[in-house]
Amino acid sequence: MDKDRIKGAADKAVGKGKTAVGKVTGDRELEAEGRAQTAAGKIESAAGKVKDAVRDVLKK
């Protein structure tokens, strides 16, 4: 598993937490920061999946 996938998953989780806390507390800035971090995590995770797929193809 590529390190980008791991970091992406962590960023998605933290981002979702920030979004939830921002909604509960009414902190729109924190909520927006959480959504941005979640999106960045999704991108990192996708990049990691691509790297893993390329590695698998090259092994064959």
pLDDT score recorded for residue 1:
75
| Residues of the chain predicted below pLDDT 50 | none
pLDDT score recorded for residue 2:
78
Residue 42: both structure tokens together = 């999704």
> Please, what's the b/e burial string for 37-57 (b: 16 or more CB within 10 A of its CB; e: otherwise)?
bbeebeebbeebeeeeeeeee
Half-sphere exposure of 12 (CA within 13 A, CB side): 13
Angle at the Cα of 46 from the Cα atoms of 6 and 34, rounded to 5 degrees: 70
**pTM for the full predicted model:** 0.85
Look up tokens 């980008």; give the residue: 4
